Amino acid sequence: MTRVLSVASECAPLVKTGGLADVAGALPAALAPLGVDMRTLLPGYPAVMDALGAADVVAEVGDLFGGSACLLAGEAAGLDLFVLDAPLLFDRGAGIYLNGDGVDWPDNPERFAALCRVAADLAAGSLGHWRPDLVHCHDWQAGLVPYYLKRNAVGVPSVLTIHNIAFQGLVPMDRAKALGIAKADLTREGVEYWGQISALKAGLLHADRLTTVSPTYARELMTPEFGMGLDGVLQSRKADLSGILNGIDLDVWSPEVDGHIRPYKTLRGKAANKAPLRAEFGLPEAAGPLCVVVSRLTAQKGLDLLLDALPALLDRGGQLALLGSGDPALEAAFASYDHPGVAVRIGYDEALSHRMMAGGDAILVPSRFEPCGLTQLYGLRYGTLPVVALTGGLADTVIPATPATMAKGVATGLQFHPVTADALSNALMQLCDLFETPKLWSKMQRNAMAQPVGWAPSAAAYAALYDDLVKAAE
Which CATH number is 2-247+456-473 given? Answer: 3.40.50.2000
Mean pLDDT of 189-214: 97
Residue type, 207: A
What φ, ψ does residue 144 adopt, rounded to 5°? -80, -10
Which CATH number is 267-450 given? Answer: 3.40.50.2000
Structure confidence by residue, pLDDT tens digits, 234-276: 999 999 999 999 999 899 999 999 999 999 999 999 999 999 9
The answer to whether the annotation marks 471 as part of a ligand binding site is no
Q: Domain ranges for the chain, please list them.
A: 2-247+456-473, 267-450
Structure confidence by residue, pLDDT tens digits, 107-136: 999 999 999 999 999 999 999 889 999 999
User: Residue 136's beta-bridge partner residues?
Assistant: 6, 159
Mean pLDDT of 155-164: 97
Q: Residue 309: is its pLDDT beyond 90?
A: yes
- The CA R_g of the chain, rounded to the nearest whole Å, is 23
* Residue 469: band (very low, low, confident or very high) from pLDDT cuts 50, 70, 90: very high
Q: If you ran DSSP here, which 8-state letter would residue 409 be given?
A: T
Nearest alpha carbon to residue 275 among 259, 267, 264, 286: 286
Q: Residue 348: is its pLDDT beyond 90?
A: no
Lowest-confidence segment of 17-21, 48-52, 145-149, 316-320 by average pLDDT: 17-21
* Mean predicted lDDT score pLDDT of the chain: 96
Q: Is 383 left (phi over 0), alpha (psi -120 to 50) or beta?
A: left
Q: What DSSP assignment string belongs to 334-401?
A: HHT---TTEEEEES--HHHHHHHHHH-SEEEE--S--SS-SHHHHHHHHT-EEEEESSHHHHHH--B-
Lowest-confidence segment of 54-68, 405-419, 420-434 by average pLDDT: 54-68
Q: What DSSP assignment string belongs to 138-190?
A: ETGGGTHHHHHHHHTT----EEEEES-TT---EEEGGGHHHHT--GGG-STTT
Decide: helix, strand or coil at residue 110.
helix
Strands 134-138, 158-162: parallel, antiparallel or unpaired by DSSP? parallel
Do 2-247+456-473 and 267-450 have matching folds?
yes
The separation between the first and the last C-alpha atoms of the chain, rounded to the nearest angstrom, is: 15
At 53 the pLDDT is 81
